[in-house]
Chains A and B, each alone.
Chain A
């Protein structure tokens, strides 16, 4: 019964540290069943690092602190046995460059079957059928023949479909897609996003879509978390974020966004550049680029609730109400 109040996944005060350089700082978020969460931020803002850390995939050079709980069960820095039960089966992840993310020596069918055997215990005829069904579901025509292809014989878009099929094999509760379309050209990009959205609706799994492109995320996700310099600086329902961005960085991001259907307005890039991880300002990390900076901004800013489903890490938002 406690299950009803517990979120599907909650991340609290996550820090990811590469030998003294903090890639992720004090990151907290919750993910509910069936929710679609977009994570946006420029390159190096810690989008991948936070989700790789959550799944214990970040490697030994990084130290991770804080807490990541799945149905209340701690998985951050958890035992290997716990993690192998979570990975693929409860949280699946799809990576950016699909062709290098697949084993070059094994057929795509082999790689999907490996996941099906592992998570669903299938074998023989049902294994073949399910492999073909998954490949067909993600839009690979002639699955019975194509399943024998090696990754280098497929296009990038097709390989990303294979990665998605492989992720679906374990029937996960959460699918994390880390820039799934960045390496693909734009028409394929739209198709893959449609596929992700359709599959999410069909299965009811939660979807975390990581992208540096606000437009991509807003097409698919109900909620958007904006990351800047290793931190979530604003989180809001998509429509509200576009209608009324609160954090100066989000405002700048929207102003720099080209709009196709919205009112025409000049594109204004944010002045300055992102601070390097090793020379992070001690207070608000956006302060050096912020036009609204005042004395209290010298203190570190943490994410605060300002409205239902809305939070922001900026001292001025609270002051102005």
Chain B
């Protein structure tokens, strides 16, 4: 188990390193931060002074190296746009993004998993076809189209919900729904195939042969085995929710990390963008390590299979 966790952690660290390096390179080679920060009409001396002050006069490799090491030591720098610490700017937005992401994840899990399970157990029934067609539609329609559709119906036609997000309950409804709807189809399909994979395993037949009712077999034998296989996907889903927030927050002008990332990229904020990338990669990789460990606790055979 220790070896198992160590390997996962090492992989997580490598991932974060790679993201940090990528962030450092990308920000240094995509345009001139000094011009962006000071505007195209700024005097040449001011730009030169800015360059010296921020180390932009150094060779590119040195600049990248400096920012890379700074990122790793947790020094995310001061945002040139508003003069505040990048970490502060980002962490201020975190709760607002969680306010969307957590309910959306809950909805996905609470709707997607039961729907997929029912579809699998009543395979080829009308209910199964209904769930599967709905999920195909859900998968095929891009996130922002769902969001726009919701806005059209509830904000413009019915006028019952605000179209641009305010961090309160009515303002949350549409962003959360958009975020949740985007992944439910995938999750339902994945659950369905996991459950189908378990249903035909010999131990399920043993469970029926014991005299358990269908409900008992599903609850005690099929679902635990199906969800054990789904842990890694639940980890990946967190990632897709974080990615989804970029679209959703922009669409609903929700002041979270996603919209911050968009404005920061547009303004070439060389401190805030890497800060977001590195922090979210830390969250993602840690989640995945946690999910792997949970899965291994659930099903110790994974440890024997090694990596």
- Does A23 sit at the interface, judged by CB under 8 A? no
Residues of the B chain whose Cβ atoms lie less than 8 Å from the Cβ of A85: 211
- Does A100 sit at the interface, judged by CB under 8 A? yes
Contact B211 A103 (CB under 8 A): no
For residue B211, which residue of chain A has the nearest CB?
A88
Q: How distant is the Cα of A86 from the Cα of B212 in the complex, in angstroms?
A: 10
Contact B202 A105 (CB under 8 A): no
Contact B206 A95 (CB under 8 A): yes
Given A80-B214, A100-B201, answer yes or no on A105-B209 (Cβ-Cβ < 8 Å): no
- Does A196 sit at the interface, judged by CB under 8 A? no
Q: How distant is the Cα of A115 from the Cα of B224 in the complex, in angstroms?
A: 18
- Does A102 sit at the interface, judged by CB under 8 A? yes
Number of A-B contacts defined by CB within 8 Å: 68
Residues of the A chain whose Cβ atoms lie less than 8 Å from the Cβ of B208: 57, 87
Chain B nearest CB, measured from A49 CB (Å): 13
- Does A170 sit at the interface, judged by CB under 8 A? yes
Q: How distant is the Cα of A150 from the Cα of B207 in the complex, in angstroms?
A: 16
Indicate which residue in A86, A100, A152 contacts B202 across the interface (CB closer than 8 Å).
A100
- Does B307 sit at the interface, judged by CB under 8 A? no
**What are the interface flags for B198-210 relative to A under an 8 Å C-beta threshold, 1 for contact and 0 otherwise?**
0001110111111
Chain B: interface size category: 20 to 34
Residues of the A chain whose Cβ atoms lie less than 8 Å from the Cβ of B205: 57, 95, 101
Contact B209 A57 (CB under 8 A): yes
- Does A166 sit at the interface, judged by CB under 8 A? yes
Residues of the A chain whose Cβ atoms lie less than 8 Å from the Cβ of B221: 103
**Interface hub of B205, B206, B221, B299 (most chain A Cβ within 10 A):** B206
- Does B51 sit at the interface, judged by CB under 8 A? no
Given A103-B221, A105-B224, A105-B299, answer yes or no on A166-B203 (Cβ-Cβ < 8 Å): no
**What are the interface flags for B61-104 relative to A under an 8 Å C-beta threshold, 1 for contact and 0 otherwise?**
00000000000000000000000000000000000000000000
Contact A87 B210 (CB under 8 A): yes
For residue B221, which residue of chain A has the nearest CB?
A103
Contact A119 B211 (CB under 8 A): yes
Chain A nearest CB, measured from B60 CB (Å): 53
**What are the interface flags for A87-122 relative to B under an 8 Å C-beta threshold, 1 for contact and 0 otherwise?**
111001101010011111100000000110011000
Contact A88 B299 (CB under 8 A): no
Q: How distant is the Cα of A55 from the Cα of B211 in the complex, in angstroms?
A: 10
- Does A84 sit at the interface, judged by CB under 8 A? yes
- Does B304 sit at the interface, judged by CB under 8 A? yes
For residue B222, which residue of chain A has the nearest CB?
A103
Residues of the B chain whose Cβ atoms lie less than 8 Å from the Cβ of A114: 210, 212, 220
Indicate which residue in A80, A88, A97, A152 contacts B210 across the interface (CB closer than 8 Å).
A88
Residues of the B chain whose Cβ atoms lie less than 8 Å from the Cβ of A103: 203, 206-207, 221, 225
- Does B298 sit at the interface, judged by CB under 8 A? yes
Indicate which residue in B203, B207, B212, B213 contacts A104 across the interface (CB closer than 8 Å).
B203
For residue A151, which residue of chain B has the nearest CB?
B203
**Interface hub of B211, B220, B299 (most chain A Cβ within 10 A):** B211
Residues of the B chain whose Cβ atoms lie less than 8 Å from the Cβ of A57: 205, 208-209
Which residues 260-304 of B sit at the A interface, judged by CB distance below 8 A?
Answer: 298-301, 304
Q: How distant is the Cα of A137 from the Cα of B104 in the complex, in angstroms?
A: 53
For residue A85, which residue of chain B has the nearest CB?
B211
- Does B146 sit at the interface, judged by CB under 8 A? no
Given A95-B206, A152-B304, answer yes or no on A104-B211 (Cβ-Cβ < 8 Å): no
Q: How distant is the Cα of A225 from the Cα of B208 in the complex, in angstroms?
A: 27
Q: How distant is the Cα of A151 from the Cα of B208 in the complex, in angstroms?
A: 18
Q: How distant is the Cα of A103 from the Cα of B208 in the complex, in angstroms?
A: 12
Residues of the A chain whose Cβ atoms lie less than 8 Å from the Cβ of B304: 152
Q: How distant is the Cα of A166 from the Cα of B212 in the complex, in angstroms?
A: 13
Q: How distant is the Cα of A114 from the Cα of B213 in the complex, in angstroms?
A: 12
Q: How distant is the Cα of A97 from the Cα of B220 in the complex, in angstroms?
A: 21
Given A89-B211, A119-B211, A152-B304, answer yes or no on A104-B206 (Cβ-Cβ < 8 Å): no
Residues of the B chain whose Cβ atoms lie less than 8 Å from the Cβ of A88: 209-211
Which residues 223-257 of B sit at the A interface, judged by CB distance below 8 A?
Answer: 224-225, 228
Residues of the A chain whose Cβ atoms lie less than 8 Å from the Cβ of B301: 104, 150, 152
Chain A nearest CB, measured from B267 CB (Å): 51
For residue B228, which residue of chain A has the nearest CB?
A105
Interchain residue pairs with CB less than 8 A apart (27): A57-B205, A80-B213, A85-B211, A86-B211, A87-B211, A88-B209, A92-B209, A93-B209, A95-B205, A95-B206, A97-B202, A100-B201, A100-B202, A100-B203, A101-B203, A101-B206, A102-B203, A104-B299, A105-B299, A114-B210, A115-B210, A118-B211, A118-B212, A119-B211, A150-B301, A152-B300, A170-B210
4 extra interchain contacts, Cβ-Cβ under 8 A, other than A80-B214, A104-B301, A105-B225? A114-B220, A115-B211, A152-B300, A166-B206
